[in-house]
Amino acid sequence: MLRSGYFQRLTRGVGQQEMSISTIVFDAYGTLIDTADGSVRATQTILRKHGCELNPTEVYARWKTYHQHIISTLSAFTSEDAIFVAGLSRLYQDYHIAGNPHEDVHIMLATLGIRKVFADTIPCLNCLRGRFELVIASNTDTRPFLADMQRNKVVVDKWFTSESLQAYKPHRAFYDRMVEELGKEPHEVVFIGDSLDADVMGPMDYGMKSIWLNSPFAQSISTILHFKLSIQRRCQA
With the C-alpha atoms ordered 54, 38, 190, 161, is the resulting torsion angle positive or negative? Answer: positive
What whole-number distance in Å separates Cα of residue 152 and Cα of residue 87?
A: 29
Say if domain 6-35+115-236 classifies as CATH 3.40.50.300: no
Domain layout of the chain by residue ranges: 6-35+115-236, 38-109
Tell which residue, 24, 9, 12, has the closest CA to residue 210: 24
In the predicted model, is pLDDT for residue 206 greater than 90? yes
Specify the pLDDT at position 231. Answer: 43
In percent, the amount of the chain with pLDDT more than 90 equals: 69
- What predicted TM-score, i.e. pTM, was given to this entire model? 0.82
pLDDT of residue 127: 86
pLDDT classification of 211: cutoffs 50, 70, 90: confident
- CA–CA distance, 174 with 61 (Å, rounded to integer): 25
Q: pLDDT tens across 31-48, in order? A: 999 887 889 999 999 999
The whole-number pLDDT of residue 131 equals: 87
The edge-to-edge listing of strands for the beta sheet with 23-26 is 158-161, 133-138, 23-26, 189-193, 209-212
pLDDT digits (tens, 9 = 90+) for 98-131: 999 999 999 999 999 899 998 889 988 998 899 8
The pLDDT value recorded for residue 11 is 54
